[in-house]
Chains A and B, each alone.
Chain A
Amino acid sequence: MAGIPKRQISAGHRKSQRGTEESPFVKWLLITVALLFSLVFLLLPLVNVFAQAFAKGFTVYWDALKHPNTLSAMKLTLLVTVICVPLNVLFGLAAAWAITKFEFRGKSLLITLIDLPFSVSPVVAGLMFVVLFGLQGFFGEWLADREIRIIFAVPGIALATLFVTFPFVARELIPIMQAAGSDQEQSALTLGANGWQTFWYVTLPSVKMGLLYGTILCIARCVGEFGAVSVVSGHITGKTDTVPLHVEKLYNEYQGAAAFAVASILALGALLTLGLKTWLEWREAKLEELAQQAEQATTQ
C-alpha cells in the first residue's frame, strides 16, 4: 500500500527541470538546511551519547551496565513493557473496531479520550494517578487498609505507562480500518464465517501492518517514558527505577559515563525500533513491486 505513492514521488522526481519546479539554488538550499539541521540536532547528540558512554573506556561502560541497579532497572522496564504492550494492543484493536464498525452515542467522546494521553503532559498524567491511588488520594485509605501499594510501586509505574502509551495502536488502526470499511467482513459472514473467523482471517490480516507499526511505537514509548513514571515511581534505587529514571539518577549523582552508558542502551533500542520499522516498510514496498512485476510479466 505504501509502495504506490512512494513510486509516484520518485517518478515525479526524475522528471526534473519542469516549469513548476524550483530553481536549483532553492532546491539545494532547502536540502542543505534540512540535512544540516538533522545532523546537528538529531545525529550529533546521538553520536555524543555513545562517545560519552565510552569516554572512560570499555570497562567503565561494561561495569555500569552490569551493575545490579542497572540490571534491576532494565528488568523493571521490560516487565512494564511486557504488561503494557499486550494490553494496549488489545485495547487499540477493540477501540478501533468499535469506532470504525459501529455507530453509537459517545463515539466522538471516545475518539477524543483516545487522544487525551497525547495532549496531556505526562507529568500531569502521573499526578492523576497519585491523586487517585496515593496515600492521601481518593482510594488511598481503602488501598492502605488492604496493604495494596500502587503509587511508588510497580503497579503505579505500569498504570502510568499504560495511560501514556494508550493511543499508539488505536491511532494507527483507526484510519486503516476506516478506509477498509466493513464490506470484507460482511462478505466473510455471507460465506459462513463466524465473528472470530472473520476477525482472524479477514480483519487482522488487513490491518496487520498498522498493528505492527502501532505496536513498535508503543514498545518504544513504554521503554522510554520518563515524565509520568517519574511522578509515580518514588525513585527507590534497585526497586522502582526504570531505565530512563536510572539514567537521570546516575547523571545527577555525577556519574556521567555510567549515565551515558545506560542511555546508550536506550538509544540503541530506539535505533533498533527505527530500523525495524524502516525494514518493514521497505519489505512491504518490495513485495508490492514484485507483485507488480509479476503482473506485468503475465500481461505482456
Chain B
Amino acid sequence: MSIELKNITKQFGGVSAVNDVSFTVADGQLVALLGPSGCGKTTVLRMISGLEAPTAGEIFVRGKRVNDVPVQKRNIGFVFQGYALFKSMSVADNIAFGLKIKKWTKADRDARVAELIALLGLKDLENRFPHQLSGGQRQRVALARALAPKPDVLLLDEPFAAVDAKIRQELREMLVNLHHELNVTTIFVTHDQEEAMEVSNRIVIFDKGRLAQIGTPREVYEEPASEFVARFIGVMNVLDCEVHEGVARYGELEFPTHGVTDGQRLRIGFRPYAVQVSNDLTAHRHFAVLRHTYFLGVLLRLELELPSGLIIRARMSKEEYTRLNLTEGREVSLQIRQYRVLSREGETLPPEVSVTHSLSLSPGEGI
C-alpha cells in the first residue's frame, strides 16, 4: 500500500497549515510524521485519511488518486489522539463497529473481535465500557477497533501522548510488534523525536507546514538537512562562526571548511558524541573546565566551559567517566571530531552541500 502526496497544500481561512508537501510511503513501512506542535503534521495525517481535503495537490494510494474518495471508502484505520471510543458501547461493540458497518456476519464479527482481543491483550475486558478502562487499555481498544476491518493503512494521531511514561513505553513496543506481525503500512504523528526515532523506520520531519527532511532515524540524526532538523533531533551544539583565512572560527575553536570566503558567516553544528574529552591536558588542543554532569542513565551529558566562556555539551558513557576519573570543576582537554556546516549567511543549505566534516583522531592534527 504505497501512499504518495504530491504538492499538498492546506489552508485554513487563508492561513497555510501545510505548504507544498510531497513524500511517498512504501508498502509496509512504519513512518513517523514529526515536528513541533502546529507544524501541520496532524493536518497531513487527516488529509491522508480523508477527514480533511487538501486545498491544492494530490494524494495517491497505490497509484490511484483518492482526493475525491470520501473517508468511508478509503479503507483506513484511524486512531485519534483522545482515543474517541464510543462511550455508549462496550469494548467488544467498539471493536465490532466497523465490521457491523461493513455488514460482516455475526459469526465473522465475533471471530474477528476475539482475534483482536487476544492480539492486543484485552482479555476479560470485552464487556467493559470505555470509562471503566485505564488510559493504556483505551488506547489498545482504539487500536483494535481501527485494525478490525483490516485497513490498508493504519493512521495514528499522537498515539502515546495521553498516557504516562511507563505505559507509553509499553505501547511503543506494542506498536512495533504489531507492525512486525501485521505488516500494515502505518503512519503516526508525534512531537516527540525520541519516540519517532525509536518506533519508526522512516521519519518525515515538518517545520512550519513545510517538509524539513525525510529519512531513516539514522539519516536524520547523522545528516540533518537543516539547522532546524539538527536542533530538533537530539542535542546539537550550534555555533555562529566567521571565516578567517579560509577557516571558520568561533573564539578559540576552528572549523576548516571548503568553498568559503573570508568574512563569511557560517553556522556550525556538532553532536555531543562528537566531542572527545580527555583528562590528559596534552592529549587535545583545547582546554575546558567540566562545569556540570547530568546523569541520563547509561550515558552522561557533560557541560564544558571553554576559556572564552563558551559552553559546549559532550556525551560519554558512565564507564569512561569513571575511567577518566572526572569530577565537576576539573580541567580537561577536548577536540571536536565531527561537525557540519548547517547554514551560510542565514540561509539553509540543501542537504548535499551540508556535508559532515570528520577529523582524524590523532591529536593536534587538523584543528
Q: Contact residues of A with B, CB < 8 Å? A: 180, 183-184, 186-194, 197, 201-202, 205-206, 208, 291-292, 294-295, 298
Contacts and interface: CB of A to CB of B under 8 A. Distances in A.
B71 A189 contact: yes
A191 B97 contact: yes
B88 A183 contact: no
B86 A184 contact: yes
Contacts of B97: 188, 191, 193, 201
Q: Which of A180, A186, A197 has the most CB of B within 10 A?
A: A186
Given A187-B78, A189-B71, A192-B72, A295 B132 contact: yes
Contacts of B98: 191-192
A190 B73 CA distance: 9
A252 B87 CA distance: 54
A-B residue pairs, 7 tightest by C-beta: A183-B84, A191-B98, A205-B88, A190-B78, A187-B84, A192-B101, A295-B132
Given A184-B84, A190-B51, A191-B149, A197 B78 contact: no
17 contacts: A180-B87, A183-B82, A186-B80, A186-B84, A187-B85, A188-B86, A190-B49, A190-B72, A191-B101, A193-B97, A205-B88, A205-B89, A206-B86, A294-B127, A294-B128, A298-B124, A298-B128
B77 interface: yes
Contacts of B72: 189-190, 192-194
Contact of A206 (B51, B82, B88): B88
Contacts of A298: 124, 128
Contacts of A291: 128-129, 132
Nearest to A4: B131
A208 B86 CA distance: 13
The main secondary structure of chain A at its interface with chain B is helix
A300 to B, nearest CB: 13
Interface of B: 49, 51, 71-73, 76-78, 80, 82, 84-89, 97-98, 101-102, 124, 127-129, 132, 145-146, 149
Given A187-B85, A291-B128, 14 more contacts: A184-B85, A188-B97, A191-B97, A191-B98, A191-B149, A192-B72, A192-B73, A193-B72, A197-B101, A201-B86, A201-B97, A206-B88, A295-B132, A298-B124
Contacts of B124: 298
Contacts of A187: 78, 80, 84-86, 145
A206 B87 contact: yes
B149 A192 contact: yes
Contacts of A192: 72-73, 98, 101-102, 149
B277 to A, nearest CB: 50
Contacts of B129: 291
Contacts of B51: 186, 189-190
Contacts of A184: 84-87
Nearest to B127: A294
Contacts of A197: 101
B97 to A, nearest CB: 6
A189 B102 CA distance: 12
Contacts of B149: 191-192
A197 B49 CA distance: 19
Contacts of A206: 86-88
Contacts of B102: 192
B76 A190 contact: yes
